[in-house]
Amino acid sequence: MVDPIRDSSPGDSDLDYDDGEMESTTLGVDLFKNEEVPVYPAVARLGRYDILGRLARGGMAEVYLARSEDEDGTVRHVVVKRVLMEMQHDPQMLSMFLEEGRVALRLFHPHVCHVYEVGESNGLTYMVLEWVHGTSLRELVRRVKAQRATLPFQLGVHVISKVASALDYVHGARGLDGKPLSIIHQDVTPHNVMLSWKGSVKLLDFGIAKTSVSEGQGAPQGKYEYMSPEQVRSEPIDPRSDVFALGVCLYEVLTGTSLYQRDSVPQTMTAIVEEPVPSVRSVRKDIPEALDRIVARALAKKPKDRFQTAGEMQRALEDWLARNGGPIPDVRLALTVGGYFNAAEKQPLPQQAAQFTGTFAALTGAKEPEVEVDPAEWAQSFSHGDGGQTGTRTSRRSPSLADRFFELSPVAAFLATLVVGGTLLATLIALYYVLRY
């Protein structure tokens, strides 16, 4: 099936929100001012949400910035995540998507990206999530490394301790009946940690989370370079597997280098299982030995040798931080992170979101546009302050060859129309005289 939304948007094949690669879907505002989102014109409607533009596309789903308005006039911006058209009829895919929503709907924690609702509209399954105005931890590490710098290790410890607190809550979450949900994230990576411009830290993406009702362990799931040894071997796992993955994240945040990524999956898996527990001090000499021991304990090969809970790892990190500079205020994290991104990169929508050339009919299910969009206004809203405008087409169908011809050469197209019209008129006149006589 052709998906006109996906096929019409160029330049984002490397984006994958499911893998946390949404990267910088951010809001560029002064840290001490109220946040204001530009009044983007809506390009589609899904349920009660105005769709403003696409943020990213992954292997299973697409992510859009959306806007809703309450009865009192309050405007709220959220993320709408929908299953790809080609995946919509895949029972396994829909089951995973709905399970992600079912799990995340029950989680309420300041460091967990909240899911507001899961629904279906015009045959499309979607999820509405909290919109985090920030960048991924993965992209921050990339930026720091690209500038041949190192992130202050106190800030790295601060971020990972917040993720540890989120995991501790998730691992201990209970259902309405009081029974443990027994959630294991299984995909704790820098891709799935978002840092807001206000200095908050959010864990997201429970797409492959394992719960007490999940069937068996099965094949390994997640990104191989962040899997625990027991996960690689497809052995039974528990929350300590997430602790190991968080240890890998801590190592990479402190050193700026990948720990277990190798040239092939087998090599990566072998390194995780067989290589000795690494030392961050072998890469970065200025890291204190006490912090090195925390990282090493999180990365222990045997679960019994690790922190037994994410909360235990959180307390170890916070205790170390208290002895080495004290708690990190949100404003310090916000200013540090923000310094690695320019104003254009902090816009709510990436520039390619303005370049839709197809139709949103597949998203809305409507035959006619539900929202009239002025092309000039739409293009202007994506100028991103650089003085230029990004062209767009908001037709409900893909442009035909004739459309493109008229756009590229109006004069030639007009002359061609006269010739064709004249030929047709002459043909009709000739036919009239033939039939008459």
DSSP string for 267-303: HHHHHHHHSPPP-GGGT-TTS-HHHHHHHHHHT-SSG
- Same domain as 244, residue 356: no
pLDDT band at 34 (very low <50, low <70, confident <90, very high): very low
With the CA atoms of 119, 190, 311 and 245 taken in that order, what torsion angle do they form, in degrees rounded to the nearest 10? 100
**Both 157 and 285 in a single domain?**
yes
Is residue 32 over pLDDT 90? no
pLDDT at 322: 95
Q: Is residue 182 part of a domain?
A: yes
Place of tokens 């205790």: 319
How much is the average pLDDT of 422-436? 74
Condensed to tens digits (0 to 9), the pLDDT of residues 45-68 reads: 888 889 888 888 777 788 889 999
Residue 291 included in any domain: yes
User: Which percentage of the chain shows pLDDT scores above 90?
Assistant: 42
- Residue 238 has a pLDDT of 94
Residues 106 and 224 reside in one and the same domain? no
| Stretch 185-193: mean pLDDT | 93
Between 405 and 107, name the one with better pLDDT: 107
Res. 89 pLDDT band, cuts 50 70 90 = confident
pLDDT band at 361 (very low <50, low <70, confident <90, very high): low
Is the pLDDT assigned to residue 326 strictly greater than 70? yes
Q: What is the pLDDT of residue 128?
A: 92
Identify whether residues 117 and 189 lie together within a single domain. Answer: no
Catalytic residue among 168, 187, 205, 292: 187
For position 7, what pLDDT does the model report? 37
Final residue of a structural domain among 283, 315, 338: 338
Per-residue confidence (pLDDT) for residue 362, from 0 to 100: 52
Instruction: Identify whether residues 187 and 326 lie together within a single domain.
Output: yes
> Span 359-385, mean pLDDT?
47
List Cβ neighbours of 422 (8 Å cut-off, separation of 6 or more).
none
pLDDT at 118: 87
Average pLDDT over residues 259-285: 94
Q: Quick one: pLDDT at residue 35?
A: 54
Q: Between these two residues, 300 and 391, which has the higher pLDDT value?
A: 300
Same domain assignment for residues 334 and 375? no
d(CA 6, CA 379) in angstroms, rounded, equals: 20
Is there a domain that residue 147 lies in? yes
Q: Tell me, yes or no, whether 391 lies in a domain.
A: no
| Residues 204 and 19: beta-carbon distance below 8 Å | no
Beta bridge partners of 118: 127
Residue 85 has a pLDDT of 77
243 and 307 part of one domain = yes
Q: What per-residue confidence (pLDDT) applies to 284?
A: 93
pLDDT, mean of residues 351-371: 50
Question: What number is the average pLDDT over the span 73-81?
Answer: 89
Average pLDDT over residues 407-429: 65
pLDDT value of position 423: 79
Whether 397 shows a pLDDT value over 50: the answer reads: no
State yes or no: is 187 an active-site residue.
yes
In a domain, 194, yes or no: yes
Q: Residue 401: its pLDDT value, please?
A: 47
| More confident position, 180 or 382 | 180
User: By CB neighbour count within 10 A (0-12 exposed, 13-18 middle, 19+ buried), where does 323 fall?
Assistant: exposed
156 and 276 together in one domain = yes
Mean pLDDT of the chain: 77
Q: How many domains does the chain have?
A: 3
Residue 223 to residue 227: CA distance in whole angstroms: 7
Regarding whether 328 and 224 lie in a shared domain, the answer is: yes
Q: Work out the percent of the chain whose per-residue pLDDT is above 70.
A: 71
**Which CATH number do you get for residue 160?**
1.10.510.10
Question: Does 276 score more than 90 pLDDT?
Answer: yes
What is the pLDDT averaged over residues 140-169? 95
Q: Could you tell me how many helices (H) and strands (E) the chain has, helices first?
A: 14, 9
User: Does 364 reside within a domain?
Assistant: yes
Q: Which of 81-85, 336-340, 358-362 has the highest mean pLDDT?
A: 336-340
Do 129 and 140 lie in one domain? The reply is no
The reply to whether 343 falls in a domain is no
Distances (CA, A) of 169 to 109, 141, 173, 174: 7, 26, 6, 10
The residue segments making up the domain with residue 68 are 4-133+348-380
Per-residue pLDDT at 222 exceeds 80: no
**Residue 88 in this model has a pLDDT that exceeds 90:** no
pLDDT confidence bin for 314, thresholds 50/70/90: very high
CATH code of the domain covering residue 24:
3.30.200.20
The more confident residue out of 77 and 38 is: 77
Identify whether residues 85 and 144 lie together within a single domain. no
Same domain, 220 and 321: yes
pLDDT of residue 275 exceeding 60, the answer is yes
Residue 393, in any domain of the structure: no
